[in-house]
Amino acid sequence: MIPDTKKSQARFVFICPGAGNDSKWVEMACRIPQIEILGEQTQEELEQILSNIDVFVCPSRDDPMPIVVTEAMQHYVPCIVSNQVGQSEFMIGDVGGFVFESEDVEALSRLMEFCIDCSKEIEKRQDEAYKIYCDNFSQDAMERKVREIIDKVLN
């Protein structure tokens, strides 16, 4: 749905374990030169990819807490997620990225176009994404939450 003039300014990398199982989808995607489809990645390969992208997109229809979104935020990568992705609860007001209504492909397309057009807005959200990670998902944040739960149970 993204116009060719916009697509030509971007590269879209799909990390799709098992993508070969849906050859019709892969065949359609391969017709778009800006799309690269990767299979399952090692942790090191994923970290290399995350260090070289501007925006991470997770359009899941139902995913309570995809770790890869948290990993993107850990690498200062703003995210576009559906409202069915758990991390969307921390992205209120487009902080750290953008949230769209699940299944709304037009909204997703508009957000992706915005990201292509407005690199300064994306740069602004890099630190916000990392802050979401630090405040909610880092080891320190997890230890703090566990201590709070233990204190609540014991007191």
pLDDT digits (tens, 9 = 90+) for 36-95: 988 889 999 999 999 999 999 999 999 999 999 999 999 999 999 999 999 999 999 999
CA geometry: angle at 140 spanning 151 and 142, to 5°? 55
Are the CB atoms for 100 and 111 separated by under 8 Å? yes
How far apart, in whole angstroms, are the C-alpha atoms of residue 36 and residue 138? 30
Evaluate whether 103 touches 61 at the Cβ level (below 8 Å).
Answer: yes
Res 29: pLDDT: 85
Q: Give the single-character DSSP code of 102.
A: T
Structural element, H or E, at residue 15: strand 12-15
Quick: pLDDT tens for 96-135: 999 999 999 999 999 999 999 999 999 999 999 999 999 9
Span 12-53, pLDDT tens digits: 999 887 766 667 878 888 889 999 988 889 999 999 999 999
Number of H helices, E strands in the chain: 7, 5
